[in-house]
Structure 1
Amino acid sequence: MRYNLLGNTGISVSEIAFGGVEIGLPYGPGIRNEQEMLNENEAVHLLRNALDQGINFFDTARMYGKSEELMGEAFRGIRGEVVLCSKCRHLRDASGRLPDPEQLAVLIYQSLEESLKALRTDYLDVWMLHQADLEILQHETVCRVFQDIQKKGWARSIGASTYSVSESERAIRSGIWQVVQLPFNLLDQRQSAVFGLAGDQGVGLVARSVLLRGMLTRRGVHMQAPLAEIERHISKYRNLAASHHMELPEYATRFVLAQPQFAAVLVGIDKQEYLDRAVETADMELIAASLLEGAIPFPDPEFIDIPYWDRMGWLE
């Protein structure tokens, strides 16, 4: 396992980050309810195995069900061996409005307190905004409270989880958010537009959606008619990977690992085989230049919207 500095934070993280959403709530491909998830003992065992296999960077969130509690149990007594990243509760209400400044500050502090208690720690290595839009990223109260929390030592660094290129750019240029977690994969490579800026500003980048919610695995076949063009594009990657004697998930992961701008690549893990595969992939040499050159993104990236596809019933 290789380790990289997370921007200018001084924190060294494993190249593979353990994505904790799948152990906390029904989320991954084919997982429809809690009965199909790992039980508590299995999840704790998996987390400890990940640490034993060289992963030191663990990503979770207040909104990830039992994920924080499971990590708190897994790393009890060995807190100093892991880098913990968690995310604040969503700040907007069901109607999409932000609370007034006083209520907003209370919400943020309460969310942090809940995370620290669940994780059995008195500080986080990285604490992030969850679903940080342009208004939230520059909101005076949000910025002030997060900076105060860092000054008090409750977070070693602060960051934001973004979706659009404009959000990532705003976060990087702000001088406030030290770590940005953003989506990047074979199909959607738009965020490469901020790579140079992040390097110049010393902001640590973490990649997520590497397998695009399972689309870049065996799941990306026999898709419904509205996703036919997506399936055809994925088949090109699959054929290219096969010509180099590898499976599509390996190609997709190694493609993102080959981007030197990322300190870590977030991989959702809820099975030992997924953990083993991620570690083995990280230990491989960089992929061939022909595979990098063949990673042509989908021509209409705006169409790539997994939550929308789900709402439309296209993923059933």
Structure 2
Amino acid sequence: MNVLILGGAGQVGTELQALAWPAGTVLHAPSRTELDITDAAAVAAALDAGSYGAVINTAAYTAVDKAESEIAEAWRLNALAPAILAAETARRSIPLVHVSTDYVFAGTKAGPYQTDDPIAPRSVYGASKAGGELAVRTGNPRHAVVRTAWVVSPHRGNFVKTMLRLAGERDKLTVVDDQHGCPTSAGDLAVALMTIALRLAEDADAPTGTFHCVNAGATTWCGFARAIVAGAARRGGRAIPVEGIPTTSYPTPAQRPANSVLSTDTLTAAFGVVPRPWEAALDDILDRLMGRVAAETSR
């Protein structure tokens, strides 16, 4: 079976290509220059050439703050492209797995967000991703919209790598401590996306709709930073203090949700995916970036 991965150079796309897919599965991950997913004719030609069993779209405009001034570009990649993908995959009866974000929510709810909670994005990025969700839902009945949050990995730029770099340069870090969410390993997300895509490709009656995929547990950006610095210190990095600050002390062009904790209950019920704790996922990422803790390697 052929599987088309869009956004293959990103964190999740890289992890998707590193997975052990079932024998006989052939992955195709064209670069941005090889396939412009905002060009309907190009997408149609690519789908006709590949005989795909499933398409996984991880491509997106993710520069949250720049999106406030690059509105058209954010909507082009986050809404127009999914609309094209949904229409073209539906014409060929190909299931579409599309990655979305916690930023579609306002962030004002007291508890975890469920998949059917009302969306109310407060940024251009969030609004454009909400537009992409709607396009996928209305364009292809055989879809899975998978919302995720706070994605990190050993690849490309992300919060873990930024904190490691800053911890090596500074004597103290100050990090926002009143935004709550769920750190997510790109590798764990990739496994869930593979599971969903294979099920949709092989089972015409597989569950469709919207799902949340994040690692289990919640924290703040400051709590996440403290865990990163502590984990790095166990691996030989510098142990420096991490001070919590309010969002008001770190203004940004885009408004972030104060609470973007996501419930993964529907994902588990539909596909049997049970996310592990974010702390365990972080340890694996730090192992890949810095090596295992000496005490563990000496056992």
> Which TM-score applies when normalising by structure 2?
0.35
